[in-house]
Chain A
Amino acid sequence: MSSVAQKRGFGAALWDWMTTVDHKKIGILYLIGGGFFFVVGGIEAMIIRLQLLKPNNDLVSAGLFNDLITMHGTTMIFLAAMPILFGFMNYIMPLQIGARDVAFPFINSLGFWMFFLGGVFLNVSWFFGQVPDAGWTSYASLSLASTGHGIDFYAIGLQIAGGGTLMGGINFLVTIINMRAPGMTYMRMPLFTWTTFVASAMILFAFPPLTVGLFFLTFDRMFDANFFDHQMGGNTIIWEHIFWIFGHPEVYILILPAFGIFSEIFSIFSRKRLFGYPAMVFATVLIGFLGFMVWAHHMFTVGLGPTANAIFAVATMAIAVPTGVKIFNWLLTIWGGSISVTTPMLYALGFIPSFVMGGVTGVMQGAAPLDYQLHDSYFIVAHFHYVIVGGVVLAILAGVHLYWPKMFGTMLSETLGKITFVFFFVGFHCTFLIQHWLGFWGMPRRVWTYMDGQGWNTANLISSIGALLMAIGVIVMVINIIMTTVKNVRVGNDPWGDGRTLEWAIPSPPPFYNFTQTPLVRGLDTVWIEKQEGNATGLTFAEPVTDIHMPHGSIIPFFMSVGLFIAGFGAMFHQETSWGLPLLIFGLAWTFVAMAMRSLKDDLGYHVTKEEIQRDITNASKGGQN
């Protein structure tokens, strides 16, 4: 795709990417945007660990430290992990179900631009010197007391980005429900598609509470409402409930697609069908359901009373059961398989012990009375980094190596990939394992510095060294990506050799219409089945070659998002400046005009003709690709 774009010059290429509604390009945009914010959040993490390197350190001021932890958490969750996973969902899921695109390509583009501009909005706060500083949870009493516009950036930035996420989630749901190829029943969907499905359903129910909470916060701070101001009859605990009713499902929204990626990897690199597929699907759905039942375990020390605490404690522990089922099913997938330790598989193998450790500490904190000690100590910091880095980030890195050849038609270096893994994996355990003990030894989280003589010095030093190793790992990966792109050795349809699902039966990168003809799905791991039965292409088609109906690109999604971006600044400054209110109205009007344009303009798309497709098929077979 890029070679065509480059011939048209940079401006045309930029225009192409800004107007694209192709799920594959939007997927790549998500990866680039998420990757950018991942680096930003990583730099913030490095500064945090440098500050905590030794006692009484004053590398950064107390205020700046709170800015850093807030932005690190917010960036990593909302702007790095979610978008990168969205990138994979966007790119891979439609291919896995044999679709030509997602159900609403226009909304897909809108979702991306809202995420990206929301993320930019949040990070612009650094240039204003007024940065969110109440933690990523932004608990109400502190976030209302926070001076400057920091929390305003948080509330509005996340509002815009969150809207994009919600649209993305709905889009995936509709896509999976409606656009599966003939024969692709629910119980034949690859597990990554299943986890995308469940995560999207969770987005549908989890993000509206966040939207409401953020609006309350926005109204409180910018429009003199009193939802959370207890002196005016408001209640700060309400924010905690709203935040965690969103926040807990959010962590499952992150981890389920990660589970999906690993399920694909275990299966491909063991050359074996996923063990207990129906149980895996059921466990995924159950985790998604239980994920909404346990939010108050973040609030055991708030004083909800023993009955509430006991109920939420037991509910929390119950989640360990379906998660355990998944772990053992993965183990039994590799058991009796033929394990090839490629880079993606290395990440998957590293994931199992790491995630199990993160999971069991989660159960420990589910025991409410024990949580009274562990809550808000470094133990919880260790726990959630074990599940998010040891689960989600390892999955992202694994996914990057696994799907890179599919997305860009060239393989990342296996050697550099393994070096990345070793640095990252060793660094990760070095950073976070010791933090469990820091928690036991009484170190609260979110501390800017600590006094000497509390027995925490060595452990913090070890932790900071680990962070450095992780950074080296990521740098090696960036080098790997650059080298691979420069070398650009082309690969065929199935570069790993054991692809089992539809995406591995089409060219790498796939043509913009994905499938020349809609495939027929004959079972779970349909490509594997076809190949075992002697069909070397891995595909059986459900239709003859016909014209393909495709949507036009559009710049309107970008404009809609820009309008919201502008309106955000208007809302933020409307109390202290005279131009704030007009700007707010202007921004919203801009968005409405863009929406009206979308509604009034008839865009029926275009057709890729039979002849063109026939030509592509001939070219592909001449190119000698398998």
Chain B
Amino acid sequence: MMKGLKKWRLFSLLAVLTVFLAGCGQEELSTLLPAGQVGKDQFKLLMLASGIMLFVILVVVAIYVVALIRFRRSKLGEDFIPEQVEGSHKLELVWTIIPIILIIILAVPTVYYTYKLGDVKAMEEVTDDGKAKHLVVDVTAKLYWWEFEYPDLGIVTAQELVVPTKEKIYFNLKAADVKHSFWIPAIGGKMDTNVENLNKFYLTFDKESEGLKDGVFYGKCAELCGPSHSLMDFKVKTLPRDEFNAWAKNMKATEDGNSVANAAGEEVFKQSCIGCHATSGAGEGGSQGPNLASFGDRNRVAGFLKHNEEDLKKWIKNPQKVKPGNTMPSFENQLSEQELDDLTEYLLGLSVEQ
């Protein structure tokens, strides 16, 4: 019985090792393949902590295995009465002091990184002509979608965060209804979007998202926020600074009208959708529904569905079925098939990246 157990343990150790070596996850959303300085710092801490902890586990398991082998009653005989040892101050000091040392080794970098990652003073810095020195994005989490406003650029988008690479991006985080949490696993740790206060932190994006599987990093909501919590995904597109500038300029330009792929669809949009959704990327956040100025460029419909006509129609027809608890009404009985066709063509044509 115990022999089987021991073998099983060895096997599990090997299995753990295999999983550890093979299991780094997927580039676009794994914390083990960090693509930003914050994530890398956290990864370093993970490695340090794992190392210390594996050491502890090994020591414990070693003593444990030796004790189990040496001191079995089947070996010592039924009548053997062990010496009733009271304890050992020396030994107890050893296993008090060594853990304290290990903890200090971990605590020092922990405190260092806590302050490093919590430093958002630079957010307020301005250049000589009064412009903000760093890019600041205001993130508002709403029932199952994300709004990204760039106050200094005067543009707003939703569901797909677009940022330049290789510089610190500062975020103001807030929730509009219930608490959510903003997390881009491959870039860095999460921060909650509270309902009553603004949270601030920064991330850096070192890698362009273009080469990734879907061309984007994956973002998640990490705080239970209702039925569709698990569907509250967003995506992150990272561009070189000049491409980002071009994107921002195009977004701003949608002020004067966006590309129209289907004029009839635009009419339908104006009648049915415009109350909640804007197609101009210029302006401020706070709208009822996600801004659609760059809808055609996005990677997903509603954050998680495939980005094609079929899924878009499915979504418009009955959003509650797809994402229960969201605030968009159903259009199943309000739009004819023809109108739906026009509308989807129009929406998928909304683009700022030609």
Contacts and interface: CB of A to CB of B under 8 A. Distances in A.
Interface in A238-291: 270-273, 275-279
A66 B67 contact: no
Interface in B79-127: 80-88, 91-92, 95-96, 99-100, 103, 106-107, 110-111, 113-119
B60 interface: yes
Contacts of A302: 192, 194, 199
Given A62-B325, A373-B190, A450 B199 contact: no
A448 B304 CA distance: 14
B270 interface: no
A62 B228 contact: yes
B229 A442 contact: no
A370 B118 contact: no
Nearest to B218: A442
Nearest to B61: A353
Interface stretch (B45-53, B155-163, B237-245, B275-283): B45-53
A335 interface: yes
Interface stretch (A105-113, A321-329, A393-401): A321-329
Interface in A510-546: 532
Given A369-B41, A371-B189, A454 B46 contact: no
Interface size class of A (residues with CB under 8 A): 35 or more
Interface-central residue, B8, B12, B229, by most chain A CB under 10 Å: B229
Nearest to B111: A310
Contacts of A135: 224
B84 A273 contact: yes
A54 interface: no
Nearest to A341: B2
A444 B221 contact: yes
A306 B114 CA distance: 6
Contact of B175 (A141, A368, A447): A141
Interface stretch (B179-187, B310-318, B344-352): B179-187
B53 A361 contact: yes
B42 interface: yes
A270 B192 CA distance: 49
Given A236-B195, A305-B118, A332-B91, A320 B60 contact: no
B131 interface: no
A449 B205 CA distance: 28
Nearest to B214: A453
Contacts of A331: 60, 63-64, 67
B221 A336 contact: no
A11 B183 CA distance: 59
A434 interface: yes
B196 A373 contact: no
A336 B25 contact: no
A441 interface: yes
B226 interface: yes
Contacts of B186: 442
B31 A236 contact: no
B57 A356 contact: yes
Contacts of B227: 61-63, 65-66, 448
A145 B227 CA distance: 12
A46 interface: no
Contacts of B81: 271, 338, 532
A468 to B, nearest CB: 18
A376 interface: yes
A339 interface: yes
Interface string B186-212: 101111101111011000000000000
B9 to A, nearest CB: 8
Contacts of B88: 275-276, 332
Contacts of A448: 227-231
A277 B99 CA distance: 19
Nearest to B84: A273
B87 A276 contact: yes
Given A369-B41, A426-B8, A440 B25 contact: yes
Contacts of B45: 367, 369-370
A550 interface: no
A353 B30 CA distance: 27
A455 interface: yes
Contacts of A385: none
Interface string B261-292: 00000000000000000000000000000000
A141 B174 CA distance: 13
A35 interface: no
Nearest to B77: A338
A608 to B, nearest CB: 37
A368 to B, nearest CB: 5
B118 A309 contact: yes
A369 B196 contact: no
Contact of A313 (B25, B114, B181, B183): B114
Contacts of A63: 227, 324-325
A174 B227 CA distance: 46
B68 A367 contact: no
A185 interface: no
A66 B227 CA distance: 7
Nearest to B117: A369
A303 B197 contact: yes
B230 A444 contact: yes
Contact of A336 (B72, B85, B200): B85
B218 A454 contact: yes
A301 B191 contact: yes
Contact of B107 (A62, A301, A313, A453): A313
Contacts of B222: 301, 375-377, 444-445
A273 B83 CA distance: 9
Contacts of B190: 301, 372-373, 375-376
Given A139-B179, A302-B194, A372-B117, A62 B230 contact: yes
Interface string A327-369: 1110110111111110000000100110011001101101111
B17 interface: no
B103 A442 contact: no
B293 interface: no
Contact of B230 (A230, A301, A318, A449): A449
B73 A340 contact: yes
Interface-central residue, A235, A275, A303, A442, by most chain B CB under 10 Å: A442
Given A272-B82, A277-B87, A451-B304, A442 B220 contact: yes
A440 B85 contact: no
A437 interface: yes
A429 interface: yes
Interface-central residue, A314, A321, A441, A451, by most chain B CB under 10 Å: A441
7 contacts: A306-B115, A325-B96, A331-B64, A367-B49, A370-B42, A433-B12, A444-B221
Interface of A: 61-63, 65-66, 134-135, 139, 141-142, 145, 230, 235-237, 270-273, 275-279, 301-303, 305-306, 309-310, 313-314, 317-318, 320-321, 324-325, 327-329, 331-332, 334-341, 349, 352-353, 356-357, 360-361, 363-364, 366-373, 375-377, 418, 422, 426, 429, 433-434, 437, 439-442, 444-451, 453-455, 532
Given A341-B72, A442-B218, 4 more contacts: A370-B110, A373-B46, A375-B190, A376-B183
Interface of B: 1-2, 5, 8-9, 12, 16, 19, 23, 25-26, 29-32, 39, 41-42, 45-46, 49-50, 53, 56-57, 60-61, 63-64, 67-68, 71-73, 76, 80-88, 91-92, 95-96, 99-100, 103, 106-107, 110-111, 113-119, 173, 175, 177-179, 181, 183, 185-186, 188-192, 194-197, 199-200, 213, 218, 220-231, 233, 304, 324-325
Q: Which 10 pairs of residues, A with B, have the shortest CB-CB distance?
A: A372-B189, A306-B118, A447-B230, A441-B25, A442-B185, A276-B87, A360-B53, A442-B29, A62-B227, A230-B196
